[in-house]
C-alpha cells in the first residue's frame, strides 16, 4: 500500500472566502515504512496572508513573492499523490483547500476521486475520546519528538504525523517496566532512522560453533530429556 502523509499551510481558514494554500508537505509511506521520498513546495497564493495565519506558521507575504503559483505545480503535485491513500490530520480542512485549488486549474480534479483519504483526527478521537487530539497532544501521548516544532510547517508536520500515525495504528509501541513513568504506559520517544543508513550485518555461526552447540544439546538431553530447542528443530 502506498500512503502519502500530507499537510498544508494556508493564508487563512476558509477556502470559500478565497483563502489559498501557501505550503504543501508530503511524506511517502509504503507498506508502513517511510521511503525517504518526500514532496515539498512553497506557493505564491496571489493574495495576502492573514496576520493571524502568519503567527501560526511564520510564512510571510514577502517570502512567498517569488514562489511558484499553484497552477505551475498542480500537475507535479497531483502526480505525486495520485492513486495513494492520503493520511491527513483533520482531513476535511486540507482536502477542502486542495479541491478549491484544483478547481482553479485545468483539468479540474477532485481529490477523493483519485485518492483514498484517512483522517488521523477521526482515528484519534475514536481511540482517545474526551482527550486532546491535536498533533502536539498526540506527540506527547505516543512519545514522538516534536521539539523542533516551534511553528507549524507543512513538511515537518507531515513527518511528525507519519510517526504518530504509524504508532497510533500499529498496536503496542513501547514496553516499559515502570507503569508510572509516563502517559499511555510510559511510551518512550521515537527516533526515525534514515532510510539510507548502513544495514546491520548478519553474522552466521561457524561450523565449529554449530558442532559445539550440537554437542552441548546432546549432553543436556542425556541428562534432562528432549529440549525445547530440538522440538523446534524437529517441527521445521
**Catalytic site positions:** 152
CA atoms of 111 and 100, how far apart (whole Å): 10
Say if CB 157 and CB 7 are below 8 A apart. yes
Residue 129 has which C-alpha cell?
Answer: 475520546
Say if CB 194 and CB 36 are below 8 A apart. yes
Residue whose C-alpha is closest to residue 10's, from 48, 37, 65, 38? 48
- Angle 151-58-80 from CA coordinates, rounded to 5°: 80
Distances (CA, A) of 232 to 75, 175, 204: 55, 27, 19
Beta strands 33-42; 21-30: pairing state: antiparallel
CA atoms of 78 and 210, how far apart (whole Å): 55
Amino acid at each position: 500500500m502506498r500512503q502519502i502523509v500530507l499537510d498544508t499551510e494556508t493564508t487563512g481558514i476558509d477556502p470559500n472566502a478565497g483563502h489559498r494554500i501557501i505550503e504543501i508537505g508530503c511524506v511517502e509511506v509504503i507498506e508502513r515504512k517511510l521511503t525517504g521520498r518526500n514532496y515539498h513546495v512553497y506557493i505564491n497564493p496571489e493574495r495576502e496572508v492573514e496576520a493571524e495565519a502568519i503567527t501560526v506558521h511564520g510564512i510571510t507575504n514577502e517570502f512567498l513573492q517569488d514562489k511558484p503559483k499553484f497552477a505551475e505545480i498542480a500537475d507535479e503535485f497531483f502526480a505525486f499523490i495520485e492513486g495513494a491513500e492520503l493520511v491527513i490530520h483533520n482531513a476535511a480542512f486540507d482536502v477542502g483547500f486542495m479541491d478549491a485549488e484544483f478547481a482553479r486549474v485545468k483539468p479540474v480534479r477532485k481529490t477523493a476521486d483519485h485518492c483514498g483519504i484517512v483522517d488521523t483526527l477521526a482515528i484519534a478521537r475514536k481511540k482517545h475520546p474526551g482527550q486532546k487530539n491535536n498533533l502536539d497532544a498526540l506527540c506527547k501521548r505516543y512519545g514522538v519528538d516534536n521539539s523542533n516544532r516551534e511553528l507549524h510547517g507543512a513538511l515537518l508536520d507531515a513527518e511528525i504525523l507519519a510517526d504518530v500515525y504509524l504508532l497510533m495504528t500499529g498496536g503496542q509501541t513501547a514496553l516499559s517496566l515502570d507503569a508510572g513513568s509516563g502517559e499511555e504506559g510510559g511510551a518512550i520517544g521515537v527516533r526515525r532512522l534514515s532510510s539510507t543508513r548502513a544495514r546491520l550485518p548478519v553474522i552466521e555461526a561457524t561450523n565449529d560453533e554449530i558442532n559445539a552447540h550440537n554437542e552441548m544439546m546432546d549432553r543436556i538431553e542425556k541428562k534432562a530429556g528432549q529440549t525445547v530447542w530440538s522440538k523446534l528443530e524437529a517441527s521445521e
